[in-house]
Amino acid sequence: MFLHGTSRVNENGHLEIGGVDTIALANEFGTPLYVYDVALIRERARSFKHAFENMGVRAQVAYASKAFSSIAMFQLIDEEGLSLDVVSGGELYTAIKSGFPASRIHLHGNNKSVAELKMALDHEIGCIVVDNFYEIELLKDLSHNYSKKIPVLLRVTPGVEAHTHDYITTGQEDSKFGFGLLNGQIEDAIDSVLQSDGIHLLGIHCHIGSQIFDTAGFVLAAERVFEKIKEWKLQFSYTPEVVNLGGGFGIRYTDEDEPLPATYYVEKIVEAVKKQVNELNINMPEIWIEPGRSLVGDAGTTLYTIGSKKTVPNIREYVAIDGGMTDNIRPALYQAKYEAVLANRVTDKHEQPVSIAGKCCESGDMLIWDLPLPEVKPNDILAVFCTGAYGYSMANNYNRIPRPAVVFVENGEAQLVVKRESFEDLVVNDLPLKSKVSNQ
């Protein structure tokens, strides 16, 4: 059984997280329920920060908020002194609502709208990570309306293919993101930005993919970027103040995954950068990274209530839960694997494998195949581990299933941080047919 962070089995044989009995949580807040182990998020955040401090380099660790965004989450990230990467007006709005210091917000996106860019500029956020030539032109136009130069990073695709699922690989050359590093595009972009009076070229950004388990890809990406920095020094007399090497550090979902500690990734990245900086004889840039999954992934657990069962003789037993692809689409989208236990009978003997089905009208709505569990009964509570990243944030309302609630647990206390959606919430934007509206 996989227990991590503050998770443990208490004297009632129940799964406990953050000193709170998960069965009590299910009773109080209902299911499906996302439960976040706040102490574990703090620990992960601190280990990234300390790793940079120990290496003696100036750095920013920006939480890639797409992994899980909410007002309380952003406030927690602010408490830990991290920066914040947002990729849309909605994430930016949430950050601003949470009171997150604008100077530590970075805006990403391969198709930022003028409204999103204006929102970022009005709030004087820390930087805009520019993705394409169209965006450079938009920023040049917008810059006339602002007195301060717009700080930007230019995002490059370094041509590094990280070992991960195809859909979540972003650093390869054939990608929708960023300027090609190897095909001359980035030089055109640098030239254009350096010629603009309204834009300040703070540095370069690259991100090679997600759920990556070795450091070779990061080192290679850093080497490629610095080879180019050497050329830019001669060509433009330009050296970046900031090099952002993105996120993508892998976590353990099942025994098949062998993650490295955060400190190890940071050490290898910083060593690679220092080596390049010495060779080029340039000032050490600030190193920025953007971890999402590795900050929140294993801190999240989803609780579900078990309902119906179906046995297909000699083949398989299906056990259905009260959620599924609406609250966790990763198994359907990426064939992602998870481990789970019965939270109300954690130590009972595992009798047989069962397959956990969601409640959506979709055959592909299967959460876990062939999971060894004790004999399950209706109303047992299933706890699925490591759902903290890209779970709630990718939740949807397929079949008009309301999105779950989210609680933070820490030091024996639980706090509701996202309310469960109600049926009323589901129809709040619906408008009736004109012919059904009575004249009042």
Ligand X SMILES: N[C@@H](CCCC[NH3+])C(=O)O
Give the C-alpha distances (Å, rounded to integers) separating 355 from 155, 304, 361, 372, 383: 42, 14, 16, 9, 14
Q: Rule CB under 6 A: say whether 91 interacts with ligand PLP.
A: no
The question of whether 360 is a catalytic residue gets the answer no
Residues 211-270 that bind ligand PLP (CB under 6 A): 211, 246-249
Nearest distance, CB of residue 298 and ligand PLP, angstroms: 12
Residue 141 amino acid letter: D
Which of ligand PLP, ligand X, none does 391 bind, CB closer than 5 to 8 A by kind?
none
Q: Rule CB under 6 A: say whether 106 interacts with ligand PLP.
A: no
Catalytic residue among 206, 360, 361, 386: 361
Nearest distance, CB of residue 374 and ligand X, angstroms: 29
Task: Name, in order, each residue with C-beta under 8 angstroms of 342's C-beta and a sequence gap of 6 or more.
Answer: 348, 373, 374, 376, 380, 381, 382, 383
Which of ligand X, ligand PLP, none does 294 bind, CB closer than 5 to 8 A by kind?
ligand PLP
Nearest distance, CB of residue 405 and ligand X, angstroms: 21
Contact 321, 382 (CB under 8 A): yes
Please check if 421 is assigned to a binding site: no
Nearest distance, CB of residue 8 and ligand PLP, angstroms: 27
Nearer to ligand PLP, 5 or 358 (CB): 5
CA–CA distance, 175 with 411 (Å, rounded to integer)? 44
Nearest distance, CB of residue 216 and ligand X, angstroms: 20
Residues 120-179 that bind ligand PLP (CB under 6 A): 170
Give the C-alpha distances (Å, rounded to integers) separating 292 from 141, 265, 378: 32, 14, 35
Residue 123 CB coordination number (10 Å)? 17
Residues 293-322 that bind ligand PLP (CB under 6 A): 293-294
Which bin fits 406, alpha (ψ -120 to 50), beta or left (φ > 0)?
A: beta
Nearest distance, CB of residue 207 and ligand X, angstroms: 7
Please check if 292 is assigned to a binding site: yes
* Residues near ligand X (CB under 6 A): 66, 168, 170, 210-211, 330, 334, 390
Within 13 A of 311's CA, how many CA atoms are on the CB side?
Answer: 6
Contact 153, 205 (CB under 8 A): yes
Q: Rule CB under 6 A: say whether 64 interacts with ligand PLP.
A: yes
CA–CA distance, 207 with 223 (Å, rounded to integer)? 13
Nearer to ligand PLP, 22 or 169 (CB): 169
Q: Rule CB under 6 A: say whether 108 interacts with ligand PLP.
A: yes
Residue of 67, 139, 321, 382 that binds ligand PLP (CB under 6 A): 67
Nearer to ligand PLP, 158 or 358 (CB): 158
Nearer to ligand PLP, 245 or 343 (CB): 245
Question: Distance between alpha carbon 395 and the CA centroid of its chain, in Å?
Answer: 13
Residue of 292, 323, 324, 358 that binds ligand PLP (CB under 6 A): 292
- Enumerate binding residues for ligand PLP (CB under 6 A): 64, 67, 85, 108, 170, 207, 210-211, 246-249, 290-294, 389
Active site residues: 361
